[in-house]
Amino acid sequence: MALSPLPPPVEPFPVPRGGSLKQFLSTRSTLQSNFYLKSLSELSLALSLQLLAEFQIRSGLPGLLKGIDYVVAAVLTAMAGKYYSMLRTLQKSDNSSNEPLTWLSPLPFSTRLLLFLKTGRSLFLAGFIAGFSGYSLCKIFTYIRLYLGYNLFALKPVNILYASLYTGGFMALISNVRYTVLQVKVEPFIERYTSGGVMRILIFGVRCGNGFLGSWIAIWGMRFFGVQSK
């Protein structure tokens, strides 16, 4: 029985420790057209869509203010987590091709599974760090406000460890799937059949939908697992 050819080795493609951020972004942009425009869109959408999702799911401004500690932490983690997910779900091989290598690439199932797990491991670590940093910072803000006598809202503490673990797991699974499908299947399809303003509007629209879906699932999941109060 003939053996299938081995896939090209995968280079993890993290931010280089010894290189500059400019060099990293320049290299990363070779894997994705309109990379800088998409980066700006992703960060701004992460901010606005997370606020919108929080506003809707908390039934308006009063609920938003009541859970302001959750909201601030969610916005911070959303911006960090979503942008890192965008960066990390596309990898490169060690050959000269600029085609991204992902778990959706035409490779043996075992290789695709390893790619999914490898990407998920990196996303889990990033999500845990983002969640821990965001919720810890928010708790510090809460203590400062209480110390100064500005206890304006009924606050319920967040279990930072559980919230961080949930954020890491969410990115490793949900974000891994969403951003890979978006950047490997959906956006290339749009770019292949449209151009100019129509293309940019469609890409912006699908990124809006992707971001809002992620924010809604994240909030629902935290409530379902009891990490966050209603």
State yes or no: pLDDT of 4 exceeds 70: no
Enter the tokens of residue 9.
Answer: 């080795």
User: So what's the pLDDT on residue 10?
Assistant: 41
What are phi and psi for residue 151, nearest 5 degrees?
-85, 75
User: So what's the pLDDT on residue 128?
Assistant: 92
Enter the tokens of residue 105.
Answer: 């690439």
* Mean pLDDT, residues 35-40 taken together: 78
HSE-up of residue 106 (Cα within 13 Å, Cβ side): 3
List the end-to-end C-alpha distance of the chain, in Å, as a whole number. 58
User: So what's the pLDDT on residue 3?
Assistant: 38
pTM, rounded to two decimals? 0.70
Please state, for a pLDDT cut of 70, what percent of the chain lies above it. Answer: 80
HSE-up of residue 177 (Cα within 13 Å, Cβ side): 6
Q: What are the pLDDT digits (tens) for 127-172?
A: 899 888 888 887 887 787 777 776 655 456 778 898 889 989 998 9
* Collapsed DSSP state (helix, strand, coil) of residue 84: helix
User: So what's the pLDDT on residue 158?
Assistant: 74
Taking residue 6's Cβ as centre, other Cβ atoms within 10 Å add up to 9
* Mean pLDDT, residues 25-54 taken together: 77
- Comparing 82 with 129, the larger pLDDT belongs to 129
- Answer yes or no: are the C-beta atoms of 130 and 80 closer than 8 Å: yes
Q: What are the pLDDT digits (tens) for 97-120?
A: 556 677 777 778 888 888 889 889
Chain-centroid distance, C-alpha 74: 12
Enter the tokens of residue 41.
Answer: 């869109």
Out of 11-20, 131-140, 221-230, least confident range: 11-20
Q: What is the mean pLDDT of the chain?
A: 77
User: So what's the pLDDT on residue 153?
Assistant: 55
Chain-centroid distance, C-alpha 228: 19
Q: Where are the domains of the chain?
A: 59-224
